[in-house]
Structure 1
Amino acid sequence: MPRRLPTSAELRVWRDFIETVEALRGVVAGRLQTETGLSPGDYTVLLALSEAPQTRLRPSDLAAAIGWERSRLSHHLGRMERRDLIRREGFSGDSRGAFVVLEDAGSTAFHSATVPHLTAVRELFVDALTPDQLDAVALISGALRDHLPDR
């Protein structure tokens, strides 16, 4: 069976979709950084930790929860640790017993960033769409996610 390649029209839709999502993410990220001093990566890590039992996760569980490679997470955690947003416990050579723990400063930074971040999401995404369009985005997102191969 020959491979089916996208048509020109399908490629235009794909490119428009990708470019729009990237532009939207860039604007939201820029506002988050400017208004709160947190990067999108910081916010993602802090959100996952704030929702975790006892605000702590093993690095492998945190990486899986946010969809990052362990090496990327490790480097990012080092930067966050230097800013006292998180701390790593039990890192004496064996990371299997280690945890990433949300510090008070990280919790404060996350909670302070939540309203500005959600305001940007409202203004740049939600307010741009009608309720029917939001429902369509939800359906499309679900269909795309369900079509992805298992990771």
Structure 2
Amino acid sequence: MADPTSATLAAAAPEQPSGAAAGRSGPRWLTDAEQQVWRGLMPVLHELPAALDRQLQSDAGIPHTYYVIMAMLSEAPDHELRMSELSQVTANSLSRLSHAVARLEGYGWVRRRKCPTDRRGQIAMLTDAGMAKVVELAPGHVAAVRRFVFDALSPEQVETLGRISEAISAAIASAGPGTPDGGPAEDA
């Protein structure tokens, strides 16, 4: 059954201009093929993080986000990163990261300390117990990633997915921070 929203939008969509005029006079509607691909991608964007969360909740009682934070710290020199850098490599806002790190501190897996070169900055450090937890959880996490992603793809598809991921990440990065469309955020 067709989605009434997309059918309504498709019927209401005016003829799209081509060339340089495209995008200036209104929305650039998705083609039927693009709409089909987008609808196939949406469940992946939702279900993959949920599946990884379920695996880590089952194995350790933590969400995937916490594991990613610890994994990034485990790979950093001296197992530590400035909170601002950790925010970037884990794709978390500073406030969300701060909350997660506070929870990880409660488990004894991460510690924070003041940055010696910047009085306002903080450094997150993976503790020995945190490193042991990453080592314990890594096999189950890798098995889940392999099962949900790589085992479902041919080597050629893996290579293509890598290029697609880089292109999408570059488009998102070029939009910059701010509003969801990449424009500047308004002051509150």
TM category (shorter chain) comes to 0.7 to 0.9
Identify which of 128, 132, 137 aligns with 1:108. 132
Tell me by how many angstroms 1:150 deviates. 4.8
Does 2:86 align with 1:62?
yes
Moved more, 77-86 or 127-136: 127-136
Three-state SS of the structure 1 residue aligned to 2:62 is coil
Instruction: Tell me the amino acid that sits aligned with residue 68 of structure 2.
Output: T
Identify which of 47, 50, 56 aligns with 1:26. 50
Q: Which has the higher helix share?
A: 1
Moved more, 71-80 or 19-28: 19-28
| Structure 1 residue runs without a partner (length 5+) | none
Q: Which structure ranks higher in relative contact order (CA pairs < 8 Å, sequence separation ≥ 6)? A: 1
Identity between Structure 1 and Structure 2 (%)? 31
Does 2:167 align with 1:133?
no
Does 2:101 align with 1:77?
yes
Runs of 4 or more consecutive aligned structure 1 residues displaced over 4 Å after TM superposition: none
Instruction: Tell me the amino acid that sits aligned with residue 135 of structure 2.
Output: H
Does 2:40 align with 1:16?
yes
Three-state SS of the structure 2 residue aligned to 1:136 is helix
Query: Aligned partners of 2:148, 2:72: CA distance in 1, in Å?
Result: 23
Could you state the TM-score of these two structures normalised by the residue count of structure 1?
0.87
The answer as to whether partners of 2:49 and 2:64 remain within 8 angstroms in 1 is no
Could you state the TM-score of these two structures normalised by the residue count of structure 2?
0.71
Tell me by how many angstroms 1:83 deviates. 0.9
Tell me by how many angstroms 1:62 deviates. 1.1
Count residues in correspondence: 148
Does 2:63 align with 1:52?
no
Instruction: Tell me the amino acid that sits aligned with residue 94 of structure 2.
Output: R
Query: Aligned partners of 1:127, 1:66: CA distance in 2, in Å?
Result: 24
Bigger radius of gyration among the two:
2
